[in-house]
Structure 1
């Protein structure tokens, strides 16, 4: 979320410069680069661990007893406090990413999360537990800010879309570890039944804190600080086996340099009001705010943080069964999210968003019907159907709203506005999470399955919005995507900067067809 442009491009702009023989399977430098990117990707595992862990802890009698069986309001605070911490850090994170670098931002955030995890594991009171979770959320903002930008700015061009989409998808890797660790410690008849899962939350941060000191910095950030030789060296080392004269490396180098020059030229005129001062920018901002809110307010928040309460509405009260279903659900989610990330460039963003909305609306409505059926008849078959529809709902959600929300946001924002737009995106997500985590437990306790009807109506609106406003960006570079929102003038500006991206007439025609 650091301020400034991200000089990145999609496969379309680089296609003629890519070496078809250089792949992640057979090239040592790309294998090393992808190892560093994997270390950055697991940042989201900490966040995913949290939601699943809180689901698991609520099912543990030992945790309930240790914290005096928290009621609905206290559960809302316990879940929301991490996002409050994230919200507090949000205004400061971009300045650290831009001032000190993307890598130091991740390291700083990881260090804070390690401290928070230690305090959470050692908690002796609910206040100490809340404070620790606040600290984890605060550090997570810095780490996520730096990691998302660093992945985008380091990745090899042909893998960038998939790897950026994987950033949010690997939320479920943390959720899997949390779900199965709480299942495994359930039988421990002491506070270690919840302290062990709490401690495991720090694993991704510990790995980052130990290893990232030796990783590469963003070439874009290096060039913005006048360290052009270092930037060229990073690009050459990872993208061309050390060959600084490689055409791809030279193209990337000149692209970044041109973007930085433009940043400096418009730095004094591009402010927050620029997000709304043109029709194209207003459309971008509307989409960014919408998908950020949709990602947390599609009914997924009920299962992410309050799965045990959902189970109680259908008569499943055995903690062992609750924990087992939670563990299986997270594996299911990871498989769908990673598969969808791999298909982003093949299927296209718009198709994935609309398909996701249709599936969520269908299966959440059926979940609501079966929950109502259970409330009337207490039928075991209705309860089992609810569980099945939860799994199908999440498969639909994972098609778009797990892999695409970060990558699509970065794609549609032009580089002078990318940092500001991405900051708005993170702010909206935090607000949606906090709202959800306070409202959901109270609503579930008071009106049970009837609360689902609210989400059924909202999902219908999401489908309408995505059909009307989501713009397809498949096959276009980030530079060329501007024309989808700003018209042919954007293409003219690309060529005014001398960008060798293809035939101008053909590009304009393809934009008109889009």
Structure 2
């Protein structure tokens, strides 16, 4: 689909010829500073990963089980699910904070709540207090997790946007690694500090954000949406062009963003909750977004992510030290594969990674099911060891797409006015799928053992078919160019022919003061 000069059949972004080849992330001071701010935002994902892995580890600790009277069944499900119930409670507010107060202030608010919640969790004197703290953790995490990836993708230097945004969800495993090894390290402590120390460490990313995030850059797209065009232009110039407001890339980005936002406001009226399903393009977006959210949690990964001890017990591996070691090594393995996939997402493409992930998960989870059945029937130790091997191979496949790409793909296919609301729907769908998993998985595993795996084998086949027919390629495009892929030629043509007339006086003034756009390397006047 061609849209003016911005989108072409080869998938090359219209800005490519405007990039200064000498400006790299490692040799430019302002890009280094920008990436430092981005890292501060990326660690938001670490909190989420920390929580899942910590709960896995705590269930293995006799000190935690004894203190809370060995929770099992529905109580164990509640202890895991309550964080996502807290997230559900925050979703009605999250997009309004991100769009109203700004991305970085929303991250700050979430971090403050996280700090308070982890203090309560660490000091828990009863299972009710522990559950309440975990509810508050989910509530606060929603604000940070809703705003941080959007801010990353909206401030990133264009050539690095895809890998950086994909790194966001990949760092889920960095938190999981710290949690897994901290619970392993405190395992020998013979009192409640064996689980209180890992609980306290969960606050570290939030503490850093409380002290630093308000000093970082705000989203130029959000600034333009609030009429702060000069500040947006200065932000783009400072970080993307060493302060040069007349840089061709900066002018391209500024006017493309402004025209896209003006188009959504005046032509498409693409701003409210109803807009998420009001047009064929938006319905295509939501179908993909909701599906990816459920796929990310219903691919069989929820069994190991939250109930590894139950899975290992079912194949005769019951030693707590061995279970904690497997958990810790698995998180390192996952982080490596996820970061590799994030680095290659612009080279290999999103669609190829999704399809490769789907095929690999189906094959290796099926083999895990077969080996689990073999152990259950014949108590074969070789089959038990094979289950562990296939768990690792399954996660390598999962990490090719469903760790790095689900967040980055979601935020890049949504136009700016719908990005916060659409991303909230995505997170809401994840929470719903997690709550179901965390309640159903322990009960089903206890009731029908390995036969429960067969359900996921059938579901993985459905996932692969869906991915083949519905996921489209978005690599090497700006956010505005990517959004145009879903809205058809008519919407793109409206913007291409009419957006110049709708530019605000401040933009026209900017054009006069900096010279004609066509004087800057033939930058197109309108893009979407």
TM-score normalised by the chain length of structure 2: 0.90
Q: Tell me, in whole angstroms, the C-alpha distance in 2 between the residues paired with 1:85 and 1:340.
A: 31
Distance (Å, rounded) in 2 between the aligned partners of 1:330 and 1:138: 25
* 1:60/1:273 CA distance change after superposition, 3 Å: same
Number of corresponding residues = 499
More displaced 10-residue stretch of structure 1: 394-403 or 225-234:
225-234
Q: 2:167 corresponds to which residue?
A: 166
Q: Which residue is equivalent to 2:441?
A: 440
Per-residue deviation at 1:343? Answer: 0.7
Contact 1:364 1:393 (C-alpha < 8 Å) held by counterparts: yes
Deviation, structure 1 residue 64: 0.2
Q: Deviation of residue 216 (structure 1)?
A: 1.5
Gaps of 5+ in 1: 1-9, 508-514
Could you tell me how far apart the structure 2 residues matched to 1:130 and 1:222 are? 38
Preserved CA contact (<8 Å) 2:146 2:423: no
Counterpart secondary structure, 1:382: helix
Q: Is the 8 A contact 2:46 2:175 kept in 1?
A: yes
Partners of 1:11 and 1:477 within 8 A in 2:
no
d(CA) in 1 for partners of 2:67 and 2:89?
A: 28
The farther-off stretch of 415-424 and 231-240 is 415-424
Could you say which residue in structure 2 is the equivalent of 1:221?
222
Displacement, 1:144? 1.2
How far 1:269 sits from its partner (Å)? 6.3
> Higher mean Cα deviation, 432-441 or 476-485?
476-485
Q: Are 2:103 and 2:151, in contact at CA under 8 Å, matched by a contact in 1?
A: yes
Could you tell me how far apart the structure 1 residues matched to 2:283 and 2:214 are?
Answer: 40
Moved more, 241-250 or 355-364: 241-250
Deviation at 1:266, TM superposition (A): 5.2
Which shows bigger deviation, 262-271 or 373-382?
A: 262-271
Q: Which moved more, 1:349-358 or 1:208-217?
A: 208-217
Q: Which moved more, 1:126-135 or 1:413-422?
A: 413-422
Counterpart in the other structure of 1:152: 153
Using the alignment, how far apart are the partners of 2:22 and 2:443 within structure 1?
A: 57
Which residue does the alignment assign to 1:300?
A: 301
Worse-superposed segment, 348-357 or 210-219: 210-219
1:65 aligns with 2:73: no
SS in 1 for 2:416: coil
Query: SS at 1:331's partner residue?
Result: helix
Q: CA deviation at 1:221?
A: 1.9
How far does the alpha carbon of each residue in 1:122-178 deviate from its partner, in whole angstroms, 9 at most, with x for none? 101000000000001000011112211111111111101111111111000000000
Structure 2 residue aligned with 1:136 = 137
**Superimposed CA distance per residue, residues 37-70 of structure 1 (whole angstroms, 9 cap, x where no aligned partner):** 0000000000000000000000000000000000
Q: Given the superposition, is the C-alpha separation of residues 270 and 153 from structure 1 closer, same or farther in structure 2, using an over 3 Å criterion?
A: closer
Distance in 1 separating the partners of 2:449 and 2:341: 32
Name the CA distance, whole Å, in 1 between partners of 2:126 and 2:163.
42
- Cα distance in 2, alignment partners of residues 237 and 172 from structure 1: 32
Distance 1:355 1:314, change over 3 A: same
2: distance between equivalents of 1:400 and 1:367?
Answer: 20
8 Å CA contact 1:480–1:491 kept in 2: the answer is: no
1:485 match: secondary structure: coil
Q: Larger deviation: 472-481 or 353-362?
A: 472-481
1:474 equivalenced with 2:472 (yes/no)? no
Distance 1:35 1:43, change over 3 A: same
Distance (Å, rounded) in 2 between the aligned partners of 1:186 and 1:27 = 45
C-alpha displacement at 1:194, in angstroms? Answer: 0.5
Whole-angstrom distance in 2 between the partners of 1:270 and 1:113: 30
- Looking at structure 2, the residues matched to 457 and 390 of structure 1 have their Cα atoms a distance apart, in angstroms, of 17
Partners of 1:469 and 1:489 lie apart in 2 by: 21
Match of 1:430 in 2: 431
Q: TM-score normalised to the size of structure 1?
A: 0.93
User: In 2 relative to 1, CA 437–264 (structure 1 residues): closer, same or farther, beyond 3 Å?
Assistant: same
Cα root mean square deviation, aligned:
2.2
Q: Structure 2, unaligned stretches of length 5 or more?
A: 1-10, 501-516
Alpha-carbon distance, 1:202 to partner: 0.6
* 1:242-261 paired onto structure 2 within 5 Å: 242-261=243-262
Give 1:356's aligned residue.
357
Q: In the alignment, is the contact (CA less than 8 A) between 1:482 and 1:490 conserved in 2?
A: no
Task: Note the C-alpha offset of 1:482.
Answer: 4.3
Q: For the residues of structure 1 that align with 2:378 and 2:358, how far apart are their CA atoms?
A: 30
Deviations 1:338-380 (A, max 9, x none): 0000111111111111110100000000000000000111111
Measure the CA separation in 2 of the matches of 1:502 and 1:64. Answer: 66
CA deviation map 1:201-223 (0-9, x unaligned): 11100111111122112222222
CA–CA separation in structure 1 for the residues paired with 2:372 and 2:275 = 46
Segment of structure 1 superposing worse, 256-265 or 132-141: 256-265
Q: Distance in 2 between matches of 1:488 and 1:339?
A: 35
Relative distance call for 1:363 and 1:433 in structure 2 (3 A) is same
Contact kept, 8 Å, 1:358 with 1:463, in 2: the verdict is: yes
Partner Cα distance (2:258, 2:132) in 1: 43
Matched with 2:28 is: 27
| 2:285 aligned partner | 284
Aligned pairs for 1:488-499 (under 5 A) are 488-496=489-497, 497=499
Give the Å deviation of 1:502.
9.3
Q: State the alpha-carbon separation in 2 of the partners of residues 461 and 366 from structure 1.
A: 17
2:46 aligns to what? 45
Matched, 1:92 2:125: no
Deviations 1:302-332 (A, max 9, x none): 1111000000110111000000000000000
In the TM superposition, residue 233 of structure 1 has moved relative to its aligned partner by 1.8
Structure 1 residues 128 and 11: alpha-carbon distance in aligned structure 2, compared to 1, 3 A threshold: farther
Distance 2:279 2:58 in 1: 48
Distance in 2 between residues matched to 1:325 and 1:269, nearest whole Å: 48
Cα 1:477/1:271, change in 2 over 3 Å = same
Instruction: Tell whether the 8 Å contact from 1:81 to 1:133 is kept in structure 2 after alignment.
Output: yes
Q: Does 1:202 align with 2:203?
A: yes
> What is the distance in 1 between the residues matched to 2:444 and 2:14?
49
Matched residue of 2:140: which SS? Answer: helix
Of 288-297 and 212-221, the range deviating more from structure 2: 212-221
